Amino acid sequence: MKDRVEAVLDKIRPAIQADGGDVELVAISDDNVVTVRLKGACVGCPMSQMTLKGGIERIIKHEIPEIVSVEAAM
């Protein structure tokens, strides 16, 4: 599962990096919740929650239907 999520993040990453940010996989729980860390310009950006849920989560869940949700690391 980790390799599949990383592969999807690798597809998403260039768009995020184009805006000065990045995304890093932190963990995948036993109940298929993915935890990621937003980095760079994403830290503190008011649009980061929209990027997380409307972009990253939507794409990961589309590519890997068994993923339940994507959450930001605290």
Q: Residue range 43-51: average pLDDT? A: 89
Q: How confident is the model at residue 38, as a pLDDT?
A: 94
Q: How confident is the model at residue 44, as a pLDDT?
A: 86
The domains located in the chain, with CATH, are: 2-72 (3.30.300.130)
52 within 8 A of 26, measured Cβ to Cβ: no
Distances (CA, A) of 54 to 7, 22, 60, 62, 69: 18, 16, 11, 12, 11
Q: How confident is the model at residue 74, as a pLDDT?
A: 75
Q: How confident is the model at residue 33, as a pLDDT?
A: 98
3-state helix, strand, coil in the chain (%, to 5): 45, 25, 30
Quick check: helix, strand or coil at residue 68? coil
d(CA 52, CA 29): 17
